[in-house]
Structures are given as structure tokens and as C-alpha cells.
Amino acid sequence: VLRTTDLTTPALVVDADVLEANLAAMARRWPSATLRPHVKAHKTTALAHRQAAHGHPGFTCATIREVEGMAVAGLGTDLLLANEVLDTRRLGALVEDGARVTVAVDSPETVAAAADGGVREVLVDVNVGLPRCGIAPAEAGALADAARARGLSVRGVMGYEGHLQALPDLAERTRLTESAMALLLAAHADVGGEIVSGGGTGTSAVNTWVTEMQAGSYALMDSAYTAAGVGYGQALHVLGTVVSVSPPRGEMPGYAVADVGLKALGMDHGNPTIPGRGQVWFCSDEHVTFGPDGPVRVGERVLVVPAHIDPTVALHERMHLVRGDEVLETWPVDLRGW
Ligand SMILES: Cc1ncc(COP(=O)(O)O)c(C=O)c1O
């Protein structure tokens, strides 16, 4: 039996039972095709297979590489690339091989690329307030007409309210999500098609306007979403080893250092946490320095919670599914890269 104590650190460890509870809870709220789980958060086809086992036939991807990997893994029933891309020949090749691939478009250029690359189905991506991709709502209908004129099938619209996901005030998150989705529904009236796709973990409990929810982080979770109170369990930790301990000296309080640094953590949402063990002071390339809550010794293992799951996972080659200190399975993070 492989134990977590045998693992080289830093290492991603996923609590099997918390993961399963998260997948089940989201599937209860958004059953079957009403959830299109986003794989960008975990980039792992083995985990996507677990989500498929909860009854979700389709998936959301952020990169062409993710779409390719999902198709190769036998999960190509209905893949949405919820992102603008121009290198569409790679997607057309997957369609030719029997995968169903739908791509987001928000410009004449991305429509032309989809048609030229052999993709047959698109969603019109609508800007609902996040300054990123998406066409202005009033222009969505004309873009849909242009796509149909190029022989593409327009399945509907998508609009991602990413700027609202982690608003701590639930009432405000709900109110602003309603306004964002009003923009999306207005565009949908002009575009047509069956699908209104959007949402994420932070709005999954309040967005009642989409026909399919694109949540991804809920499976593994991070401290930023926990702080926003979205109600899923922390399934993923970065397992680290305490490599140095310094007792209090004069004015300087005692501290400890573990081997989970910037190069093992996505840091754009702030410092990680080490619940129950201490307060994080700061991270450097290969280190996290923390003020311990109690005695710590060199060689001890610590469980570090990243503040942002997606960029954390993308830094690691594998994740270990664990129960207690037993390693049940090791999964390659096989959707990394572009
Ligand atoms: C287009 C799109 N949809 C859905 C999501 C899923 O969000 P989350 O991981 O917060 O559930 C993201 C994440 O950034 C996204 O970019």
C-alpha cells in the first residue's frame, strides 16, 4: 500500500470522499446535461470520468489541448470550447474523428476560423460584464446570422459572469447575476438555439437563468471560494514537508518553513492557508513560511490549501487520490499545456 508519507513533496493530494461529496452535491443541484463541468479547474481526464459517472454527458474546456485530451479519453460526446480560438484545424480533426465539438465565437474572425477549420457547431459568446471575451449583447444576433451564412449550426449563447463569482455578499451576487443573465437572455432572443450556457461555482447556487451550468472549481475547491461561502468541501491540498523550524529569538516570533512555494501554487488570489497548523506569513519560490499554532518538527507533513485551484493544478504533473494517509490512485494531470 502506498502512503502519503511515501510521496515526494510538494504533491497534490485529493481527498476521495470530499471529492465524491462535491460531485454528488453539484449533480443534485444540476443533474445530467444541466451541468457541463468545466475541466479547466482540474485538467485531469480521470477526474472528468468521475464527473461523467455522475450523469453529465458534456464538458466545458478552456483550451484546444483540453478538448483534444477529453476526446482521446473517450469523453467527446459533447465538448464545448468556451473560449475564442483561431487554430481550429485541430478541432476540425477531432470532429472528423467523431467527437462533438462546439466552439465559442465573438467576432467575424472566429466565425471564419470555425467554418474554415471544420468545426460545425458554435455558441455565440456574449459579454455579460467581465472585460474578457464575448460580443456586445446587441450585436449577437447579427453574428449568429453570419455564422449560419457560413454553414455553421448555432446552438445558442454563452456568457460567463466571472466578475461575480466570488462576491462575498450572496444577495449582491444574486442581484448582479440576474442583471448579467438578463443581457444574456436578450442576446439569446436574437440568436436562437437551445443553449444558454454560463455560470461557475460561485454562482451555481443562484444562477437560475442558464440552461446549462459551467462550474468547475467545485470538484476540488480553493480558499478563495471557501471564503466566499459557496459550500463545497476542500478536496485538494498541496502536501508539503516542514524543512526548517526556527524557535522565537528576541523580538522575532517562532516560525516554520514547508516546501510548498510559489512554484507549486497559483498565487493570484493571495497566500495559501494551512488550516489548523498556523498562519502563513509569505511564500517564496520553494518555501512557505508560517507561524505555527503549536509545536512543529522538521520532517512533519502539512496540508496547504491554495487560494486559486486552477493555476495551482496546472503546475503539477499528477494528483494523488487519497483516503486518510492511503494513496488509492495516482492520476496524471493530462490536460496541461496548449
Ligand atoms: C468561461 C468559463 N466558464 C466557467 C468557468 C468555471 O468557473 P469555476 O471554476 O469558478 O467554477 C470559468 C472559470 O474561469 C470560465 O472561464
Q: What is the DSSP string of 262-314?
A: GGGS--TT---BBTTTEEEEEEETTEEEEEESS---TT-EEEEBPS-HHHHHT
Three-state SS letters, 5-61: HHCCCCEEEEEHHHHHHHHHHHHHHCCHHHECCEHHHCCCHHHHHHHHHCCCCCEEE
Q: What's the whole-number mean pLDDT along residues 28-36?
A: 98
Cell of 29: 443541484
What residue owns the CA closest to ligand 1's atom 14? 162
Model-level pTM?
A: 0.97
Cell of 306: 491554495
Residues with C-beta less than 6 Å from any ligand 1 atom: 38, 40-41, 60, 82, 160, 162, 165, 200-202, 214-218
Q: Quick one: cell of 269? A: 488570489
Q: What is the whole-number distance in angstroms between the Cα of residue 334 and the centre of ligand 1? A: 19
Q: Please report the pLDDT score of residue 5 as a whole number.
A: 96
Residue 200 confidence (pLDDT): 98
The residue length of the chain stands at: 338
State percent of the chain over pLDDT 90.
100
Task: Return the ligand 1 atom nearest residue 214 CA.
Answer: 4
| Burial of residue 142 (number of CB atoms within 10 Å: 0-12, 13-18, 19+) | middle
Q: Which atom of ligand 1 is nearest to the CA of 204?
A: 11
* pLDDT on residue 185: 98
- CA of residue 279 to ligand 1 center, whole Å: 29
H or E stretch at 321: strand 318-323
- Give the Cα separation of 299 and 37 in Å (integer): 38
pLDDT tens, position by position, 168-188 = 999 999 999 999 999 999 999
Q: How far apart are the first and last CA of the chain?
A: 35
Residue 287: CB atoms within 10 Å:
18
Residue nearest to atom 2 of ligand 1 (CA): 160
Confidence tier at 220 by pLDDT (50, 70, 90): very high
Task: Write out pLDDT tens, residues 108-153.
Answer: 999 999 999 999 999 999 999 999 999 999 999 999 999 999 999 9
Contacts 24+ apart (CB under 8 A), 206-210: 206/170, 206/173, 206/174, 206/177, 207/161, 207/177, 207/181, 209/177, 209/178, 209/181, 209/182, 209/184, 209/185, 210/181, 210/184
Mean pLDDT of 45-49: 98
Q: Are 154 and 187 in contact (CB under 8 A)?
A: no
User: In this structure, what is the dihedral angle of CA atoms 168, 171, 172, 175, given to the nearest 10 degrees?
Assistant: 140
Most informative mutation of 35, 42, 214 for ligand 1 (most atoms within 8 A of CB):
214
Confidence at residue 12, expressed as pLDDT on a 0 to 100 scale: 98
Q: How confident is the model at residue 261 (pLDDT cuts 50, 70, 90)?
A: very high
Q: Scan for cell 496540508, then name that residue.
A: 303
**% of the chain surpassing 70 pLDDT:** 100
Average pLDDT over residues 248-259: 96
Tell me: cis bond preceding 248? Omega within 30 of 0 counts.
no
Atom of ligand 1 nearest to the CA of 165: 10
pLDDT in tens, 62-97: 999 999 999 999 999 999 999 999 999 999 999 999
Averaged pLDDT of the chain: 97
Q: What is the bridge-based pairing of β-strands 255-258 and 278-284? A: unpaired
Helix then strand then coil, in percent of the chain rounded to 5, is 35, 25, 40
Round to whole Å and give the CA distance between 332 and 210. Answer: 32
Grid cell 498565487 in the structure block, residue: 267
Q: Across the strands, what pairs with 122? A: 103, 154
Give CA–CA dist 219/233, Å, rounded: 8
Helices (H), 150-228: 170-191, 223-227
